[in-house]
Structures are given as structure tokens and as C-alpha cells.
Amino acid sequence: MSNQISLTPRTIADKHLNKLEKNISIYRQCELLGISKSSAYYNPVPISPEDLDLMKRIDKIHTDFPTYGTRTMAAQLTLDVKYLVGRKRTGRLMESIGIEAIFPKPKLSLNTKLHPVFPYLLKDIPILKSNQVWSADITYIRMKYGFLYLVVFMDWYARYILSWKLSDSLRTDFCLEAADKALQINIPDIVNFDQGVQFTDEEMIALWESQNTKISMDHKGRCFDNIFTERFWRSLKYEEVYLRDYQTMQEANQSIGEYIEKYNTRRLHQSLGYKTPVQIYRQIN
């Protein structure tokens, strides 16, 4: 028997998509199953149980120490698992879950073309109102037998999660879907991204330019340029993800959706004067 496993969401997608009525489009089937459209065509690379365990450990270490590069991460992994984990292997696994090392490295991205880089616009700028600044970011979500990616759009002033989307690949479409959903709520003055290929994609850039929204981009390797989203990731991981072993993408989608709803409507923030994000975003007294 092979000692490698494929990602569960894709396997389940194949199984269920084949059972649905043929007169329903593939995209509609994906919507009914609660999976991303890319799931219908994405073929994941098999991953060994050992690598999967290391990826889960990397995610937790990165949540606690987001400035770790590959050298320190490899040293921490070696200490934790009691066998040598090389820097090159560590870098490959960090890359696969969307964690960027803070030193220059070879181009390993899905996109090898030059992409536009916008200046970081938020240094020393006071955030005084909702819809002044939004940000978007992607994080790795571990499952029992695989992993997913989660993108969120957040209003910085209110810490309000405007939209979110899970995917089993790092293709751009799930980020575009989340962006479209956020723009159904309002239009920001500025939107801040990292320099990942999902956010430098031509279609993504064109979407925000069509709304006359200024684009701001984090400096390479500067996770604290997007500090409010980083804090949300930490809350999500420790209050939701690390407490569960999601069996399927549908299960993760439902559980994370419930957490985000509670985060927006019930979780009090000291920095918001012990109010919830939705109260601040909608200015409910």
C-alpha cells in the first residue's frame, strides 16, 4: 500500500460530482457541495503522512512566531520531532502552505511572470472609519487527512470579516470570488495585499482599479504590515482550527463559517472598546 495520501477535498469532490445529475453544470455542482470551483479540475500532488505532520507543525509554529524564516523553522522542527529536518525541505513545505521566508529565495511561485508591485500606503496613516482600509490574506487550514487554504477580506477599522472563501488550491479564482462578495457590501478607499500571485493577478488588479480603490502592498517578508489579519489568524487557529480535525471540506466550511459569524457578532475586542466588529462596522451603539 502506498504511504502517500491525496487531499481529501479533491477525492470527495470527484466522488460526489460523478453522482450528480449530468444536466447540472460542474460549477453549479461545486456550489451545491460547498467546494471551490477549482476543485473540479485541480489535481493535488500526493503528500506523505510525514510531510503532512511537518506542515501542521509549521503552521502552529508560524502562528506563534510569524517572523521565523526557514533556518529557524528547520531548527525548531528538528527539535520537536527528534530527527533532522533540512532547511530546503522546510522551505518547500512552508512554500506549499503559503508561508514566505523572510530572506530572498528562488522563485517557486505558481506564476513566473513579472507582476505589478504597489507601494505600501498604510505607514503612519490613522485609520478613522470603516471602509477606509480593507485587507486580504490567505492562510493554511489543516485537516485530518490534508489541508485547505482560507482567504478573508477584513475591514481594518472594525476588524470585521467582510467575506471569506475556502479552497483546496492556491489558484486565483477563490480570492476573486471572496473579493466580489466583499464588494457587494461596500467599496474601500484602500485595499492592502501581500505580493502573492493571487493578489497581483491581472484580473484582481483590474477589479479594484474598476472601483477606484487604491491598492497597497506589504513589503516582502513583512508579515506585520498586515497585523490585524495576522491577529485574526491567531484567534481562528487557537479558538477553532487547532481544536478540530476536519474530515471534509464541507465540514471545515461549516465550522469555520460558524466561527467567523461568532467572531463578527459576539466576540468582544478590547481595542474596540469591548464591542464586536459588527457593532463598530455598522456603528451600532
Whether 174 is in a domain gets the answer: yes
Segments in the chain below pLDDT 50: 1-12, 19, 40-43, 101-112, 285
At residue 23, the 3 state secondary structure works out as coil
Whether 71 is in a domain gets the answer: no
Whether 9 is in a domain gets the answer: no
- Domain at 229, CATH number: 3.30.420.10
Phi, psi (5° rounding) for residue 133?
A: -140, 125
The residue behind cell 513583512 is 222
Whether 177 is in a domain gets the answer: yes
- Find out whether 225 and 135 touch, Cβ atoms under 8 Å: no
The DSSP bridge pattern shows strands 160-167 and 147-155 to be: antiparallel
Whether 56 is in a domain gets the answer: no
Q: What is the pTM of this model?
A: 0.74
At residue 112, the 3 state secondary structure works out as coil
- Find out whether 142 and 268 touch, Cβ atoms under 8 Å: no
Which set of grid coordinates corresponds to residue 86? 533540512
Count of domains in the chain? 1
List the beta bridge partners of residue 83: none
What is the structure's pLDDT at 234? 92
Whether 14 is in a domain gets the answer: no
List the beta bridge partners of residue 147: 142
What is the structure's pLDDT at 220? 62
Question: CB under 8 Å to 244, separation ≥6 — which residues?
Answer: 255
Which set of grid coordinates corresponds to residue 64? 506563534
- Element of type H or E holding 138: strand 133-142
Q: Which domain holds residue 247?
A: 133-282
What is the structure's pLDDT at 259? 97
Length of the chain: 285
Q: At what angle do helices 8-17 and 249-265 cross, to 10 degrees?
A: 110
Query: Mean pLDDT across the chain, nearest whole number?
Result: 83
Which set of grid coordinates corresponds to residue 275? 464591542
What is the structure's pLDDT at 60? 92
Helix boundaries (H) for the chain: 8-17, 26-33, 49-64, 70-81, 87-96, 173-183, 197-200, 202-210, 227-239, 249-265, 277-282
Say which amino acid occupies 196: G
Count of beta carbons in the 10 Å neighbourhood of residue 276: 21
How many alpha carbons fall within 13 Å on the CB side of residue 26?
10
Whether 45 is in a domain gets the answer: no
Count of beta carbons in the 10 Å neighbourhood of residue 188: 23
Nearest to 56 by CA among 239, 245, 251: 245
Whether 137 is in a domain gets the answer: yes
Sheet holding 214-217, edge to edge: 160-167, 147-155, 133-142, 190-193, 214-217
List the beta bridge partners of residue 191: 134, 215
